[in-house]
Amino acid sequence: MKLLYFFILMILCSCSSKVEFIPIVRENERLVEKQMLMDSYFKERILNVLNHYKVNYEIENDRIMIDRSISRELIWNYTSKANDSVWLKERNYPASFSKLKIIND
């Protein structure tokens, strides 16, 4: 019986329409996930970007959850915008750039 509950729980979890936002950067012409970029400073900036583009998200246990259907390319675009101080300043978004992690594209 416990095994049945386990499988039901696994199915329900896998059917979730939300996934955790993980920053994506371009490395050697490939899009690569970089969880290490997700610090409090990056979170502040990425929330500005998501709000700007009216992306639906939820905060669950300090994780940003986005719709599973958002493509890796779009996540890369959002990540790039969140790390672009000029883009943020042009839109009057506050950001903590004193500890900004520089990412080479």
Beta strand extents in 1-105 (DSSP E only): 18-20, 24-27, 30-33, 57-60, 63-67
Instruction: Give domain status of residue 7, yes or no.
Output: no
By mean pLDDT, which of 18-22, 49-53, 98-102 is the weakest? 98-102
Instruction: Give domain status of residue 64, yes or no.
Output: yes
Q: How many residues does the chain have?
A: 105
How many structural domains is the chain composed of? Answer: 1
Domain span at 48:
18-99
pLDDT of residue 99: 44
pTM given for the model: 0.75
pLDDT band at 93 (very low <50, low <70, confident <90, very high): confident
71-80 pLDDT per residue, tens: 999 999 999 9
Burial of 23 (0-12, 13-18, 19+ CB in 10 A): buried
pLDDT band at 98 (very low <50, low <70, confident <90, very high): very low
